[in-house]
Chains A and B, each alone.
Chain A
Amino acid sequence: MSSKSTEQKSSDHGFNSILSRFEPVIGLEVHCQLKTESKLFCGCKTNFGAMANQNTCPVCLGLPGVLPVLNHEAVEYAIRMALAVGAIIRERSVFARKQYFYPDLPKGYQLTQYDLPYCENGSLTLDNGRKITIQRIHMEEDAGKNIHGDNASYVDLNRAGIPLLEIVSAPEIKSPAEAADYLKKLRAIARYLDISDGNLEEGSFRCDANVSLRPVGSKTLGTRTEIKNLNSFRNVEKAITYEILRQADVLESGDKVKQVTLQFDAAIGRTLVMRSKEDSPDYRYFPDPDLGALLINEARVQNVRANILELPEQKVQRFQDTFSIPEADARQLTEEKELAAFFEDVVQKVDGAVAPKIVANWMLSEYLREFNARQWHFDKPFVSSERFARLLKLLGEGTISGKIAKAVFEDMAASGSDPDSIIEAKGLVQISDSAAIKAVVDQVIAAHPEQVAQYLSGKQKVYGFLVGQVMKISAGRFNPNLLNECLKEALHGKS
């Protein structure tokens, strides 16, 4: 869930030296698919994975004579996003027709907001504290999909008319890492607001990146290129990094960057030209006469505001305040809404047996390691909050040691069993019987007279070795506190 590749890249020697000469200027256009029940202008279903053209009707097929009717659930979702990024909502916005010919575009035009979008001038704060302006957000419908095969082409219009938000940042992003962070933040917000599943693989969260370079210190913008349809955080970083390197090459060889539209080939890690500025079509935008203006009054905005859920930033603050955990932990835990919910659930269930800080540590290390390694999804948890809490409780009560707890957790993840039966079956309960511990301690001291002598002559390091020997014999089951007590007592008794 955290990206280490970023730091590797920015530590890359060539890249850093380019950044000392050029300043990248990056703007992102994100397409966020809204998870409404029905499409933007008709009543058709929006579910993913339906049979081709199953989710269609005369309206989204663009049959002659049909008319669009705006879906007000989509408008409500759009308002939520606007409020979450603190933007201005226009009272009167307009849907325009963007006209071009393509088989996946049934009407010969796409309905999208153009010069009067419903939302303008919001912002989003990155982890590094920089505030990125969101210039505008507008609503639009998706197009269909062309499928090519067996010497013929087919069109699937299930996606045609699916509601999208296009979220356009100002060209204020300064590095590939910032771009990835911006995107993650935006996705988290969309998921927190429950307006999008933010699924990059299924295309419900896509990104176009505009990239230009200018000499450090320059105020004028360089020629920008646009990379289309980036569908993973990794590819966003990789594509922008590649594009910065490419443009720097062009500029340093004395050439001019050409204004082109690019696509990123992830397999070869390069951007490729799709079309140049010269072949970009004239879309002949004009206001759609079939829809009329979209009016959003203050009462409607207030109504949405009243029902808005907790956003990532607010949650980060609340986690710090309520659970006394560091900001970094709170940020990581709130990256995914479900992760945050799981954490809160576990904290509640351990019921004070361990501190929230310990729960957080476990979540961010053991839990996430298993989660990522096994590519789990939150909707199919590999360990329930009850079992996870039970494990931490056993640890807190001293029934098992931390080391054993980790082993038990790994077993839980692999076998799907509950902690109690694993501990029982493997006989892992912590031993707090001082007599038993003392017996082993004496045995170890007797077996290692040299080390004992070293310790008594002041070499503290040897102490750890002796603890290790005792634990080894106990298979890690001795209560560490008691072991400490007994070992020290025995050693000092010798002196």
Chain B
Amino acid sequence: MSALEPLALSASQVAQEVNAGSLKAHDVAAAYARRVENLHRELNTHIEWDKEAVLNEVDKQLAYIEAARYAQKSLPLAGVPIAIKDNIMVDSQTVSCGSQLLRNHRAAYDATVIQKLKAAGALLFGRTNMDEFAMGSSCENSSYGPTINPWNRRHVAGGSSGGSAAAVAARLTPLALGSDTGGSVRQPASFCGVVGLKPTYGRVSRYGLIAYGSSLDQIGTFATSVQDTALLYEVIAGHDPADSTSARIAAPQGSLASTSSLKGKRIAIIKEFMSEGLDEDVRTHFDQALDVYRAAGATVETVSLPHLLHCIPVYYIIATAEASSNLARFDGIRYGVRSQKPGLSLRELYTQSRSEGFGREVKQRIMLGTYVLSSGYYDAYYAKANRIREMIRREIQGVFEQGFDLIASPTSPTTAFELGQKTQDSLAMYLSDIYTLAANLAGIPALSQPIGLCRKGLPIGMQLMAPAFGEETLLRSAQVYEQQINGTEKFRPRI
């Protein structure tokens, strides 16, 4: 039995100890498997948890990690458990995307990020719950039931990567992957009190991620600290020839060179985001967080970005248009669930399989996307949305060109809302992503970090955005903040 308690260690520490031989990867796996076993039902973090199957798969990795150790090769994620959002392919495992339509679908290949994780010595630790086809802001649109916020059982975990966020917050895994199309990593990270990073579009390969809005999707990370975030980010980032939108830029390294000062850094806050709809509690903590940034040497100025007010309609037009197309392949013919109704014609079979397989929100978005792309409406909606997207991108670009290093905002206007509170009101639900959409539309990196708890005891998140490929700036600045507030221990729910 190892002297070290795996659950008390960060991902970086686990890797370090396993590489050094002072901790057995096997013990890490056993400890986390016990914890998942105890808690996953309560929180509904996993779409399916088969302890034996997971540990069987982990066994293969253990042999690889041992071999690497004998070869004195240090693996960046040696023995570190990681949970995977259920829309990322892991060869021969089920990937349901939170949908009934794919409940029996087994992936035929590994996503590029999964290949990289395996090579880095990580232990794949189950697939996490999500809003169906990544469409949602609360994780209540999962056909496997909602994920519960580990801070308060009556509240949502956030969406769409709610399962991954809650699993990391509840320490069922030190790391998790999610995907972020309009804030699906940052918003649940904020709601659950963990660090969530959406890298620059093209920084992390999308090969093997079930597409929702292709021009917006990016695989992102969950961790409890900035250091662990950087560790995971560096493993999964880099050019992938299998993804034509992947940037031809060398993989990042040493994102977190030691630094403790933000002297000379200029932070912009957006005037339009600081008005109505912003929860007072969130505003107060955000202001306090800015003070911490100031104390570390940064200056803060307000800028006006009026086009950002159009983010919601622009996002919902572009994302749903792309989704209506991306989801066409789910026709029940070659994989997924096919309607068993007898005597259907080909067209009826498509319609019936899709009617049975897709949930309400998915159908709503497919219909919306089909409408905005249809002839006669294309110019009025899709083409116009793309023009405004370009204006938003330029407006944000302009801020960085003025010499700002970061744009800061709350991650979400509120803390985690109650289960069921917004499920009947799409627009209210869509508004919870108002601050996160811009980064996806502009393709820039953004990070959410916990900055406090509201009066109800729920986490509040702050979002930092940087210019394209400015992940290093995000990570270093967020780490300085973490140091200033003496770490993230206080953002652990008692569970």
Partner-B contacts on A (CB < 8 A): 58, 61-70, 97, 99, 101, 103, 106-109, 155, 282, 284, 286, 289-292
Contact = CB atoms under 8 A, between A and B. Distances in A.
A97 B102 contact: no
A15 to B, nearest CB: 39
Contact of A65 (B208, B327, B347): B208
Contacts of B382: 286
A455 to B, nearest CB: 84
22 contacts: A63-B335, A64-B97, A64-B211, A65-B88, A65-B107, A65-B111, A65-B207, A66-B208, A67-B206, A67-B245, A69-B244, A101-B331, A107-B328, A107-B329, A108-B329, A282-B375, A284-B324, A284-B325, A284-B375, A290-B211, A290-B214, A290-B245
B284 interface: no
Interface in B162-189: none
A284 B207 CA distance: 25
B242 A69 contact: yes
Interface centre among B95, B245, B347 (most CB of A within 10 A): B245
Interface in B314-336: 321-322, 324-325, 327-331, 333-335
Interface in B256-287: none
Interface in B340-358: 346-347, 350
A70 B329 contact: no
B431 to A, nearest CB: 25
A292 B443 CA distance: 14
B227 to A, nearest CB: 30
Contacts of B213: 289
Interface in B191-223: 206-211, 213-215
B95 A289 contact: no
Chain A interface mostly helix, strand, loop or mixed? Answer: loop
Contacts of B211: 64-65, 290
9 pairs of A and B residues whose beta carbons are closest in the complex:
A108-B328, A289-B215, A289-B214, A284-B373, A65-B208, A64-B210, A108-B329, A65-B89, A62-B329
B378 interface: yes
B105 interface: yes
Given A69-B241, A108-B331, A289-B245, 11 more contacts: A64-B89, A64-B97, A64-B211, A65-B89, A99-B325, A99-B328, A101-B350, A282-B374, A282-B375, A286-B378, A291-B245
Given A109-B328, A289-B215, A65 B244 contact: no
Interface string B223-255: 000000000000000000111110000000000
Contact of A61 (B243, B334, B350): B334
Contacts of A68: 244
Contacts of A286: 321, 325, 373, 378, 382
B108 interface: yes
A146 to B, nearest CB: 10
B370 interface: yes
A239 B207 CA distance: 46
Contacts of B243: 67, 69
Contacts of A67: 206-207, 242-245
Chain B interface mostly helix, strand, loop or mixed? Answer: loop
Contacts of A107: 328-329
Contacts of B373: 99, 284, 286
A62 B327 CA distance: 11
A108 B330 CA distance: 8
B266 to A, nearest CB: 32
A202 to B, nearest CB: 25
Contacts of A70: 244
Nearest to B207: A67
A64 B242 contact: no
B334 A64 contact: no
Contacts of A97: 325
Interface string B367-384: 000100111001000100
Contacts of B102: 64
B334 A106 contact: yes
Contacts of A62: 329, 334
A63 B211 CA distance: 11
A324 B321 CA distance: 63
Given A101-B331, A286-B382, A66 B325 contact: no
B325 A109 contact: yes
A61 B243 CA distance: 16
A64 B378 contact: no
A143 to B, nearest CB: 13
Contact of B210 (A58, A65, A69): A65
Interface centre among A108, A291, A292 (most CB of B within 10 A): A108
A195 to B, nearest CB: 23
A392 to B, nearest CB: 55
A108 B375 CA distance: 18
B93 to A, nearest CB: 13
A289 B244 contact: no
A108 B325 contact: yes
A99 B213 CA distance: 16
A103 B244 contact: no
A69 B245 CA distance: 9
Nearest to A68: B244
Given A68-B244, A101-B328, A290-B244, A284 B97 contact: no
Nearest to B88: A65
Given A64-B89, A284-B374, A106 B109 contact: no
A61 B333 CA distance: 12
Contacts of B346: 103
Nearest to B205: A67
B317 to A, nearest CB: 11
Interface string B72-116: 000000000000000111000001010000100101110100000
